[in-house]
């Protein structure tokens, strides 16, 4: 059903770029990232910067991009927080136990933060503060009837000292404890990609996702009908690709190779 | 293939009794527990006290039973720690990162405790000390090639203030992060039941497991060929029974009903 990979990529009208591990790692830009983003813009491609980053609020992500020399308009940045709020509002679940850093809670405005008798437990990133007490508190709210919503379910990410646990393992812990599946609103959820495409006003066949996470970025994009390009930076590990069973539309060394791949 | 449940139970020669939630909750014996254990002994049934408790060393478990008026000979107590050591020795994996309380490590004598370059990560109970840093340390050892061994994988247990996360969710977190399954040596592993039966010198058809965990105690026993009796104390929850799909050989209100069930 797909056109051969190169053709499909050459005709793309929109590009979704993952951030962490694709454009930068911590405060270091990936070599060639600035030039690549500029080349894609020059080519007239519509861009969205789509991240599962849940450790920082949107304003910090935008500030970092600016600092790295990749200024991004607010409307081009897509994070799972807004989708989580939309989901909870649609389900009339407003009383929320929020497992995330305080500064990120601003991105969930619209929900009422509570510590007891929650309608929903929203799991974001607590980093090194993930621990028994907070997970047990969430577990008890879930047993009492709260819904489990995860901003994302990534397994791990690359930090300066090596690969580190992401949010996913803690979501998996709560799923296992309760025997129930979380509603995941970030990548690789198809609803995530559908929302982004709606904002871009293009269909999935005209869009390409570029990421370093073979499951969350590439696998999710392919399932949603987009092309999926894997970069060999960030958390990329050949073993993870083999284990995933996902076959990227293309795999390149880094974001620096993406403009050529897309004919830009 | 099974004889009708009552008959099979009436002809049992050995009884495996779970501890926490069956004989006691914290330092309170379940009503009728002392008399029930005495009645089973008087009947001449061979007993084993089989627990997934990983929060306390064997000597503490024996001391608690003595304190509660249920003295148990050392050889009648079976915990997952010895099975973990046997597994690691057989696999020649001696350098072990031990995720458990210091006082429990005595039960894993035979392994060499290390913090880096481990051959195996053994997950027991860290209680409220389960947290990001220790899980991330384990994750990195697993990525570097260590095997994941779990003393047990229970979802939750009953504490005085309610149901609380057990070891299982943290094992599930590491499994999800690495994409690999743990070797679980405690209940419900068939090897656990086989080892207990070998020590009792009876076949599975002559043995009954009594527990409050429908999956770990009853489901595990049934899969290993034993009868499985569920008690409505401890962590018992009707919803968990329904969700499990497990059909206990019999379900009774508490350990106090077990002697009658077994004709004692």
Q: How confident is the model at residue B6 (pLDDT cuts 50, 70, 90)?
A: low
pLDDT at position A32: 97
B134 and chain A in contact, CB less than 8 A: no
B243 and chain A in contact, CB less than 8 A: yes
A243 and chain B in contact, CB less than 8 A: yes
Structure tokens, A126: 């607590």
Of A140, A163, A175, the CB nearest to B143: A163
- B19, B67 Cβ separation under 8 angstroms: no
CB contact under 8 A, A165 and B176: no
Average pLDDT estimate for B74-81:
94
Residues of B in contact with A175 (CB under 8 A): 172
Q: How confident is the model at residue B8 (pLDDT cuts 50, 70, 90)?
A: confident
pLDDT at position A165: 97
What SS3 class is residue A6? Answer: helix
Cα–Cα dist A217/B95, whole Å: 36
Phi and psi angles of residue A247, each rounded to the nearest 5 degrees, phi first: -115, 100
Closest by CA to B100, choosing from B52, B163, B157, B48, is: B52
A-B contacts (CB, under 8 Å):
92
Q: What percent of chain B has pLDDT over 90?
A: 89
Closest by CA to B54, choosing from B83, B28, B79, is: B79
* pLDDT digits 0-9 by tens, B155-201: 998 888 899 999 999 999 999 999 999 999 999 999 899 999 998 99
Question: Is the CA virtual torsion B175, A25, A59, A49 positive or negative?
Answer: negative
B101 and chain A in contact, CB less than 8 A: no
Cα–Cα dist B135/B46, whole Å: 40
Indicate if the pLDDT at residue B211 is higher than 90: yes
Of A133, A156, A173, the CB nearest to B169: A173
Task: Say if residue A17 is preceded by a cis peptide, omega within 30 of 0.
Answer: no
CB contact under 8 A, B132 and A130: yes
Reported ipTM: 0.84
Q: What is the DSSP string of B66-124?
A: HHTT----GGGEE-HHHHHHHHHHHTT--EEEEES-GGGGGGGBTBEE-SSS-SEEEE-
Cα–Cα dist A166/A154, whole Å: 6
Phi and psi angles of residue B98, each rounded to the nearest 5 degrees, phi first: -105, 110
CB contact under 8 A, A128 and B132: yes
Give the ranges where chain A is alpha helix by DSSP (H).
5-10, 33-42, 58-67, 80-90, 132-143, 168-178, 190-200, 220-223, 238-244, 258-261
pLDDT at position A5: 53
Nearest CA in chain B to A141: B163
Q: How far is B236 from chain A (nearest CA, A)?
A: 14
CB contact under 8 A, B128 and A128: no
CB contact under 8 A, A135 and B243: no
* Radius of gyration over every alpha carbon of chain A, rounded to an integer in angstroms: 18
B172 and chain A in contact, CB less than 8 A: yes
CB contact under 8 A, B155 and A175: no
A168 and chain B in contact, CB less than 8 A: yes
Average pLDDT estimate for A242-256:
96
Of A130, A163, A173, the CB nearest to B140: A163
A134 and chain B in contact, CB less than 8 A: no
Average pLDDT estimate for A73-102:
94
B174 and chain A in contact, CB less than 8 A: yes
Average pLDDT estimate for A106-120:
96
Closest by CA to B155, choosing from B101, B211, B215, is: B215
CB contact under 8 A, B155 and A176: yes
Residues of A in contact with B240 (CB under 8 A): 179
* pLDDT digits 0-9 by tens, A142-192: 999 999 999 999 999 888 889 999 999 999 999 999 999 999 999 999 989
Structure tokens, A24: 């930068």
């Amino acid at each position: 059903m797909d056109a051969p990979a190169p053709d499909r990529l050459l005709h793309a009208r929109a590009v979704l770029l993952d951030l962490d591990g694709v454009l930068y790692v911590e405060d270091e830009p990936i070599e060639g990232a600035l030039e690549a983003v500029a080349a894609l813009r020059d080519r007239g491609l519509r861009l969205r910067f789509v991240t599962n980053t849940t450790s920082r609020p949107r304003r910090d992500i935008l500030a970092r991009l600016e600092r790295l020399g990749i200024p991004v308009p607010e409307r081009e940045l897509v994070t799972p927080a807004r989708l989580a709020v939309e989901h909870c509002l649609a389900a009339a679940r407003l009383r929320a136990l929020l497992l995330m850093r305080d500064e990120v809670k601003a991105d969930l405005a619209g929900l009422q933060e509570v510590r007891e008798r929650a309608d929903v437990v929203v799991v974001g990133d607590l980093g090194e503060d993930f621990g028994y007490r907070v997970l047990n508190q969430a577990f008890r709210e879930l047993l009492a009837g709260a819904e489990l919503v995860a901003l994302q379910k990534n397994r791990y990410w690359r930090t300066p000292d090596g690969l580190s646990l992401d949010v996913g393992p803690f979501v998996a812990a709560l799923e296992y404890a309760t025997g129930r599946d979380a509603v995941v609103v970030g990548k690789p959820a198809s609803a995530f990609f559908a929302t982004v495409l709606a904002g871009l006003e293009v269909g999935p066949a005209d869009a390409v996702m570029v990421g370093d996470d073979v499951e969350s970025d590439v696998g999710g994009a392919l399932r949603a009908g987009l092309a999926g390009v894997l970069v060999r930076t960030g958390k990329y590990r050949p073993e993870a690709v083999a284990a995933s069973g996902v076959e990227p539309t293309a795999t390149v060394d880094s974001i620096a190779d993406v403009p050529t791949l897309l004919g830009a």
